[in-house]
Amino acid sequence: MEITVTVNGTAETRDVEPRLLLVHFLRDVLGLTGTHVGCDTTGCGACTVLLDGAPIKSCTLLAVQADGRAVTTVEGLIENGQLHPIQEAFKEEHGLQCGFCTPGMMLVAKALIESNPDPSEEEVRWAISGNVCRCTGYTNIVKACRRAAAQIRQAEVAS
Amino acid sequence: MSEGTRICGIGHSVKRKEDDRFIRGRGRYVEDVNLPRMLHMALLRSPLAHARINAIDASAAQAHPGVVAVVTGKDLEAHKLAWMPTLSGDTQAVLATDKVRFQGQEVAAVIAEDPYVARDALELIAVDYDPLPAVVDPFQALAPEAPLIRDEKEGQADNCCYRWQAGDKEATDRAFAAAEVVVKLKTHYPRCHPAPLETCGCVADVDPATGKATIYMTSQAPHAHRTLFALVAGLPEHNIQIISPDVGGGFGNKVPIYPGYVVATAASLLLGRPVKWIESRTENLISTGFARDYHMEGELALDRDGTMRAVRVKLTSDNGAFFADAQPTKFKAGLFHIVTGSYDLKAAHVEATGAYTNKAPGGVAYRCSFRVTEASFLIERLVQNAAYELGMDPAELRRKNFIRADQFPYRSATGFVYDSGDYHRALDLALDKVGYAALREEQERLRREGGDKLLGIGIASFTEVVGAGPAKDYDIAGLKMFDSAELRVHPTGKAILKIGVQTQGQGHETTFAQIVAGELGIPPEDVLVQHGDTDNTPYGLGTYASRSTPTAGAATAVVARKLRDKGRKIAAHLLEAAEEDLEWHEDRFRVKGVPEKSVTIQDVAFAAYTNPPEGLEAGLEGVHYYDPPNMTYPFGSYVVAVEVDRGTGEWKVRRMVAVDDCGVRINPMIVEGQIHGGLTEGYGIAAMELITFDEDGNCIGSSFMDYLLPTAWETPKFETYATVTPSPHHPIGAKGVGESATVGSPAAYVNAVIDALAHLGVRNIDMPVTSAKVWEALQRAGV
């Protein structure tokens, strides 16, 4: 069936099988391979994208369920050629190692900071607890999220 | 700013070069590889743990629209591909022909135009099985009446997979006979799974015109895998290119060769089209290299004053249906004989028996150097129980028996030569940082008050043996465990470094560039590090067992020094000075006593191609194969404080202080990151990670709903510190760090929980230490 999903700001209209998962729509139909599949059962969060701004796990959502809605993937974090403060903070704080969980983590962080501009360490840990990282032990991911929040707050004050 | 600071060699927390692609979602993992006309493969797996295969009917699957081929063991048999060698000298079925031997074993493959269709068609394959009794416990497997699992194997009359021993049995038995105190601990280090976030998979692309096989593969050891492929498939080795692109975590899981790789390659060869195979998470958990599953009976002999005399261990390992651990050939139980740990023990003996069972094969070193984790866990648990037995403080008992700093190099009772260490310093720092005395006082007070909360303090003072290894002792499948580096400095002074090891998140693209920076003065951003492509890198055994820095890191330093030596000749020519009148300073050669008269490495590189001295070979490049003279021995002391709820058995980490000594730290930021990850996986193993089976051999723990991993919410907060005791034999004094924390921390967590309950007489709870088990222990103790 034909669906239209706005992905990173661009309306994408495609004819898809009803059973196609959103993650495969993004990866295989649109070629956006930054979204990864880690568990196929909503257990690890590697496939997290934002659906109308809210983090969802794209491995257990059908592409047709995203029809008429807006999806943000890691490829959509860069704006006007500039890295998002979250991307910069993940590098700065060594918040990633193998990089497989990173896109999902950054998108959860984005949603968190939008709803809570100054999250405490506990609030960050709770927010990212649906996303598994096997490499970092989360310590530096938490630091990265809080650093990004501070950067965004500062930028808003400045503007 | 000095040149050294600008150049950012050893000791600088340089931000990682690889991050720029990962934070943009531009990593390239195997699943991201898509080739024109690519087909998709799915594997049919056995629902039964042990059964004879009477017949396989694939006709309906074959006829399904979109299916291109169905492959069974019979098809592979015709090409002598139904079985393959493992990295531990055993054989493993690629696709089952006679029997299935574990639940999840590969039985058939569907190759289709679309991955969904391939999976649909699996359900159309009819397999007629004759169920056989499943053997799911190694003791049951080794009993005389047990059903024979490996009946296809010539000369295999029972389920014994290996027998192995290390140390001096006689001396150890004598020490035990004379001992004033003997402390015993029987424990099971449970089966767990490395579960990297990226599952295993490959894209096999055999070019029908040239016969060249290009295989993109989730591999921690691409060169070794290439050689094995050549041997298995009979393909000429120069016509096999293994590319391990970005790897989404390995932790030992991506060391073995899996049947899926072989079938996909065979299918591509037969069909003349690229074939992609990507595991599901369930497939990863039920069929690929698990870890541990060691039943250990340990004994420690001591004098009444606390002097440790000897350690004796009887091991029974559950290896699953095929011996596919990937252990060095000589060492069937890996390096478990490091079980003497950090202590000056005069005698030790380890006796190990491996059993075939109807469970998935593996026993891989999950973020661990060949069974070092199990050994470290056992000795650290024994020492704590010995302290209780003697009425001594566990920290004091350790300090009394540590190998002293002046005893290095130290020959252990099982034959290892520890290179360097200062165990007292590391433990003292950890105790100081955690506030040990105050915690002990609080523990006493809480016990006296008899409230809901108990406090436990656990210590682990581990010593690892990593960096396999010296060619005289270490090989995998006959391949000596050296490693390599090739360095080319281009005319403009930029460089490319090619290494035989393979990163899976460890940050080699940054740290190896820093080694070059430290030796040659070329800044890390000017050094491109390549790895993981067998056509473009020198031979090496890969990344696992914390071996990259000890082996390929050393090779990198040595090859850079070779180029520097050549550079000195060029510099002498440029400066019109004698070689012996030159001194090296950070990134340049200077005339001794006239420092302003100098040429930089960039000047030298340019001259190597434009103005080489007469008689000197042009260019500035070289290769080095490094055979380490010894292993390296990282160590550390971890102290954990836990609070246990007396009513529910729930436990929570209040403090986790980790002091690590991995020798010289190339990039302290990356080292810290490695330690955080290891402390977390160690916590997972201690608290929740468990792959278990029912009596019929059904795997329980086949998804992340059942196989629990720590999330940010339950992961403890870590306080990390360092001491630095360089390795005397490594060119830059580094020892390797990727696994220290997984090796050392499980015992610290478990010791802490046991310590909270020790006054009630509790001496052991097997991992994972769930609150239910703690509650049961409290009940038994009458609380």
pLDDT of residue B386: 98
Q: In this model, does residue B485 exceed pLDDT 60? A: yes
Q: Partners of B99 in the beta sheet? A: B52
Chains A & B: contacts with CB separation below 8 Å: 172
Q: Does B715 touch chain A (CB under 8 A)?
A: yes
Whole-number Å distance between alpha carbons of B155 and B279: 34
pLDDT of residue B231: 86
Instruction: Please provide the DSSP assignment of B398-456 as one string.
Output: HHHHBPPGGG-SEE-TTS-EE----HHHHHHHHHHHHTHHHHHHHHHHHHHHT-SEEEE
| Closest chain A residue to B510, measured at CA | A97
Which domain-ending residue is among B626, B654, B679? B626
B335 and B274, same domain (yes or no): no
Q: Is A3 left (phi over 0), alpha (psi -120 to 50) or beta?
A: beta
Instruction: Give B142→chain A minimum CA distance, Å.
Output: 35
Binary contact (A134, B20; C-beta < 8 A):
no
Q: Which of B278, B677, B704 sits opposite A97 (nearest CB)?
A: B677
B709 and B760, same domain (yes or no): yes
Average pLDDT of chain B, as a whole number: 96
B436 and B552, same domain (yes or no): no
Does a structural domain hold residue B172? no
Q: Which of A94, A126, A141 sits opposite B669 (nearest CB)?
A: A94
Q: Partners of B462 in the beta sheet? A: B636
User: Taking CB atoms and an 8 Å cutoff, what residues of chain B touch A101?
Assistant: 197
B488 and B574, same domain (yes or no): yes
What mean pLDDT comes out for the span B57-66?
98
In terms of Cβ atoms closer than 10 Å to its own Cβ (0-12, 13-18, 19+), residue B705 is exposed
Q: Which residues 6+ apart lie within 8 Å of B449 measured at CB?
A: none
Active site residue B220: yes
Q: How confident is the model at residue B749 (pLDDT cuts 50, 70, 90)?
A: very high
Closest-CA residue to A32 (of A5, A67, A1): A5
Q: Which of A41, A75, A100 sits opposite B29 (nearest CB)?
A: A100
B510 and B434, same domain (yes or no): no
Q: In this model, does residue B353 exceed pLDDT 70? A: yes
Whole-number Å distance between alpha carbons of B261 and B225: 10
B717 and B602, same domain (yes or no): no
Whole-number Å distance between alpha carbons of B314 and B43: 38
pLDDT digits (tens, 9 = 90+) for B93-124: 999 999 999 999 999 999 999 999 999 999 99
B324 and B439, same domain (yes or no): yes
Whole-number Å distance between alpha carbons of A56 and B549: 39
Does a structural domain hold residue B89? yes
What mean pLDDT comes out for the span B130-143?
98
Q: Which residues 6+ apart lie within 8 Å of B682 measured at CB?
A: B741, B742, B743, B744, B745, B746, B748, B749
User: Taking CB atoms and an 8 Å cutoff, what residues of chain A touch B198?
Assistant: 36, 38, 98, 100
Whole-number Å distance between alpha carbons of B747 and B378: 8
Active site residue B425: no
| 83-122 in chain B: CB under 8 A from chain A | 116
Q: Which residues 6+ apart lie within 8 Å of B191 measured at CB?
A: B290, B291, B292, B293, B318, B359, B690, B691, B692
Return the exposure string of B472-491: e unless at least 16 CB atoms fall within 10 Å of the residue's CB, then b.
ebbbbbebbbbbbbbbbbbe
pLDDT of residue B509: 98
DSSP code at position B632: B
Binary contact (A83, B23; C-beta < 8 A):
yes
**Taking the CB of residue B135, how many other CB atoms lie within 10 A of it?**
27
Does a structural domain hold residue B634? yes
Whole-number Å distance between alpha carbons of A85 and B695: 52
Q: CATH number for the domain including B580? A: 3.30.365.10
Instruction: Give B32→chain A minimum CA distance, Å.
Output: 6
Instruction: Give A90→chain B minimum CA distance, Å.
Output: 7
> Which of B103, B220, B384, B502 is the catalytic position?
B220
B496 and B456, same domain (yes or no): no
Which domain-ending residue is among B626, B648, B677? B626
Q: Which of A37, A94, A102 sits opposite B670 (nearest CB)?
A: A94
pLDDT digits (tens, 9 = 90+) for B460-471: 999 999 999 999
Contact by Cβ (8 Å): B367, B744: no
DSSP code at position B760: G
B587 and B657, same domain (yes or no): no
Whole-number Å distance between alpha carbons of B69 and B269: 12
pLDDT of residue B99: 98
- Return the SS3 of B643: strand
Which domain-ending residue is among B594, B610, B626? B626
| 647-686 in chain B: CB under 8 A from chain A | 669-670, 672-674, 676-681
Phi and psi for B43 in degrees, rounded to 5? -105, 135
pLDDT of residue B5: 54
pLDDT digits (tens, 9 = 90+) for A72-91: 999 999 989 999 999 999 99
Q: How confident is the model at residue B409 (pLDDT cuts 50, 70, 90)?
A: very high
User: Taking CB atoms and an 8 Å cutoff, what residues of chain B touch A102?
Assistant: 22-23
Tokens 């100098």 identify what position? B598
**Tokens for B106?**
């590969």
Contact by Cβ (8 Å): B487, B529: no
What mean pLDDT comes out for the span B706-716?
97
User: Taking CB atoms and an 8 Å cutoff, what residues of chain A touch B677?
Assistant: 97, 134-137
Binary contact (A102, B23; C-beta < 8 A):
yes
B612 and B645, same domain (yes or no): no
Q: Which residues 6+ apart lie within 8 Å of B69 measured at CB?
A: B62, B110, B111, B267, B270, B271
Instruction: Give B665→chain A minimum CA distance, Å.
Output: 16
Active site residue B367: yes
Whole-number Å distance between alpha carbons of B323 and B326: 8
| 235-274 in chain B: CB under 8 A from chain A | 246-249, 251
Q: Partners of A48 in the beta sheet? A: A57
Does a structural domain hold residue B141? no
Does a structural domain hold residue B184? no
Instruction: Give A86→chain B minimum CA distance, Å.
Output: 9
**CA distances (Å), origin B677, targets B249, B473, B637:** 11, 30, 16
pLDDT digits (tens, 9 = 90+) for B243-302: 999 999 999 999 999 999 999 999 999 999 999 999 999 999 999 999 999 999 999 999
Instruction: Please provide the DSSP assignment of B499-555 as one string.
Output: ESS--SSS-HHHHHHHHHHHHH---GGGEEEE-SBTTTS-----S-TT-IIIIIIHH
Binary contact (B713, A129; C-beta < 8 A):
yes
Q: Which of A40, A91, A135 sits opposite B249 (nearest CB)?
A: A135
Q: What angle do CA B691, B692, B693 make, to 5 degrees?
A: 140
pLDDT of residue B151: 97
> Which of B191, B367, B371, B381 is the catalytic position?
B367
DSSP code at position B50: S
Does a structural domain hold residue B145? no
pLDDT digits (tens, 9 = 90+) for A108-138: 999 999 999 999 999 999 999 999 999 999 9
User: Taking CB atoms and an 8 Å cutoff, what residues of chain A touch B505?
Assistant: 97-99, 135
pLDDT of residue B3: 46
B503 and B581, same domain (yes or no): yes
Instruction: Give B693→chain A minimum CA distance, Å.
Output: 20
Q: Which residues 6+ apart lie within 8 Å of B78 measured at CB?
A: none
User: Taking CB atoms and an 8 Å cutoff, what residues of chain A touch B670?
Assistant: 94
Q: Does B25 touch chain A (CB under 8 A)?
A: yes
Active site residue B368: yes
User: Taking CB atoms and an 8 Å cutoff, what residues of chain A touch B31?
Assistant: 27, 33, 36-37
B310 and B282, same domain (yes or no): no
The number of folded domains in chain B is 3
Q: CATH number for the domain including B99? A: 3.90.1170.50
Contact by Cβ (8 Å): B701, B290: no
pLDDT of residue B232: 81
Query: What is the domain range of residue B654?
Result: 291-468+630-780
Does a structural domain hold residue B124? yes
User: Taking CB atoms and an 8 Å cutoff, what residues of chain B touch A134?
Assistant: 195-197, 249, 251, 677, 681, 709
Domains of chain A: 2-77 (3.10.20.30), 85-158 (1.10.150.120)
What mean pLDDT comes out for the span B729-748?
97
Whole-number Å distance between alpha carbons of A144 and A91: 8
Q: Is B172 left (phi over 0), alpha (psi -120 to 50) or beta?
A: alpha
Q: Which of A101, A129, A137 sits opposite B197 (nearest CB)?
A: A101
Report the predicted TM-score, pTM, of the whole model to 2 decimal places.
Answer: 0.97
Does a structural domain hold residue B190? no
Q: In this model, does residue B2 exceed pLDDT 50? A: no
Test the B interface: residue of A77, A129, A134, A142 with most B CBs within 10 Å: A134
Share of chain B above pLDDT 70, in %: 99
Binary contact (B677, A136; C-beta < 8 A):
yes
| Closest chain A residue to B199, measured at CA | A38
